[in-house]
């Protein structure tokens, strides 16, 4: 599918439930319902924007299967699908593939590859990459420019490692792992101990294990373990500028949003969401399907399914009550001052 595509081409990609109306205008951009213009594709992903569909000027609009209301304008099509937001993601995947096609297999002449390294089939190794002794880059992997793969480290099948990433010695990356620019995987864990008035370093002799289908954001650091492994479970998505300390274990299909910080030996269960700037103290456990709100500081264990807010983090219900009380503090303060004046006058 080209960057400008017809309604027919679009429908071939997404296989809609039905289409009402028609458009001969090529679709070349994506726009919000309230600002889209002719030639744009728009979508109704949230029912609170339902009223904007009737006024939308996009040439095509993705609407949910149960949509009722306005009819398409002249030279406009409504495309009925189960989940418009997900359908848009499928379309964007086609666009992304056209804008950033997978580079051809081959090794750039500036790359440095150790003789003992194992390079699989259909691998792309970009400019100035360094592949260490006994490292493995598996079939179909893509290493963009300036990627370093350390001694005995493994990059799994069809993984994509973007520019400037450092995969340190003995780190193990599974299949279809996507690492964004300048992330560091397997650097020395932050381990020190006070001895006789000095600070002595504790050797960090473990590794990092990244399971299949994980995405790791730009500038994120995942430290290797003091012993055993720091581990990130299958399908987990990690945002930019996240710090994961040594011996942390993260379950499958978690979300770690920007600037999350995890101290060492913290365990996070499956399907957990850590919102932006959440901080987790070391040696605690976060239960399956828990949600930790933005900027929360978690000092102790969290039960499965719990939602926590604030710093120190507390349960959602209590946090909401305290927020209401905080908003009333100026009023309460004024009342107290008035009472003090009355008492002083007696």
Per residue in 180-239, pLDDT (tens digit) is 999 999 999 999 999 999 999 999 999 999 999 999 999 999 999 999 999 999 999 999
Residue of 50, 146, 246, 283 marked active site: 246
* pLDDT score at 216: 98
Is 160 a catalytic site residue?
A: no
Final residue before a domain boundary, out of 82, 99, 116:
99
Helix (H, G, I), strand (E, B) or coil at 341: helix
Is 79 found in the same domain as 47?
Answer: yes
Number of separate helices (H) and strands (E) present in the chain:
3, 38
pLDDT at 44 (0 to 100): 96
| Average pLDDT over every residue of 63-84 | 95
Where does the pLDDT of residue 1 fall: very low under 50, low under 70, confident under 90, or very high at 90 and above? very low
Res. 2 pLDDT band, cuts 50 70 90: low
| Bridge partner list, 18 | 80
How far is it, in rounded angstroms, from Cα 108 to Cα 127?
A: 5
Residue 155, classed as helix, strand or coil, is strand
Average pLDDT over every residue of 266-294? 98
pLDDT attached to residue 97:
86
Task: State both tokens at 199.
Answer: 């600070």
Tens digits of residue pLDDT in 261-275: 999 999 999 999 999
Question: pTM of the entire structure?
Answer: 0.87
For residues 111 and 131, is the Cβ–Cβ distance under 8 A? yes
Q: Which residues of 172-204 are buried (b: 16+ CB within 10 A; e: fewer)?
A: bbbbbbbbbbbbbbbbebbbeeeeeeeeeeeeb
**Residue 297 shares a structural domain with residue 159:** yes
What average pLDDT score do residues 75-100 get? 92
| Residue at which a domain ends, from 81, 99, 117 | 99
In a domain, 336, yes or no: no
> Quick one: 212 and 295 in the same domain?
yes
Are 126 and 67 in the same domain? no
At 97 the three-state DSSP class reads helix
Is the model's pLDDT at 322 over the cut of 90?
no
Averaged pLDDT score across all residues of the chain: 95
* Domain harbouring 54, CATH code: 3.40.1390.10
142 with 229, same domain: the answer is yes
Give the whole-angstrom CA distance, residue 247 versus residue 250: 10
Query: Is residue 226 a part of any domain in this protein?
Result: yes
Number of domains the chain is built from: 2
At 57 the pLDDT is: 96
């Amino acid at each position: 599918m080209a960057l400008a595509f017809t309604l027919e081409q679009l429908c071939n990609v997404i296989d809609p439930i039905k289409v009402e109306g028609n458009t001969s205008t090529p679709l070349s951009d994506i726009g919000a319902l309230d600002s889209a213009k002719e030639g744009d594709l728009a979508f109704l992903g949230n029912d609170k924007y339902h009223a904007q569909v009737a006024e939308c000027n996009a040439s095509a609009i993705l609407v949910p299967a149960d949509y009722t209301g306005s009819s398409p304008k002249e030279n406009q099509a409504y495309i009925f699908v189960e989940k418009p937001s997900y359908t848009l993601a499928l379309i964007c995947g086609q666009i992304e593939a056209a804008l950033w096609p997978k580079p051809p297999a081959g090794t750039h002449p500036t790359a440095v590859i150790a003789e003992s390294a194992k390079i699989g089939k259909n691998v792309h190794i970009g400019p100035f990459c360094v592949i260490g002794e006994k490292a493995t880059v598996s079939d179909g992997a893509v290493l963009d420019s300036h990627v370093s793969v350390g001694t005995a480290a493994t990059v799994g099948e069809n993984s994509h490692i973007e520019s400037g990433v450092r995969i340190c010695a003995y780190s193990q990356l599974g299949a279809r792992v996507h690492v964004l620019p300048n992330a560091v995987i397997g650097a020395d864990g932050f381990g020190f101990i006070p001895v006789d008035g000095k600070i002595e370093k504790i050797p960090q002799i473990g590794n990092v294990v990244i399971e299949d289908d994980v995405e790791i954001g730009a500038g994120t650091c995942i430290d290797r373990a003091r012993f055993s492994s720091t581990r990130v479970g299958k399908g987990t998505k990690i945002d930019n500028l996240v710090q994961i300390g040594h011996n942390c274990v993260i379950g499958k299909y978690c979300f770690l949003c920007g600037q999350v910080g995890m101290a060492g030996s913290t365990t996070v269960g499956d399907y957990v969401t850590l919102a932006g700037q959440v901080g987790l103290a070391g040696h605690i456990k976060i239960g399956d399907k828990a949600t930790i709100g933005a900027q929360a500081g978690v000092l102790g264990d969290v039960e499965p399914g719990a939602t926590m807010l604030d710093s120190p983090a507390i349960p959602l219900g209590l946090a909401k009550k305290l927020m209401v009380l905080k908003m009333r503090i100026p009023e309460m303060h004024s009342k107290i001052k008035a009472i003090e004046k009355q008492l002083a006058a007696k």
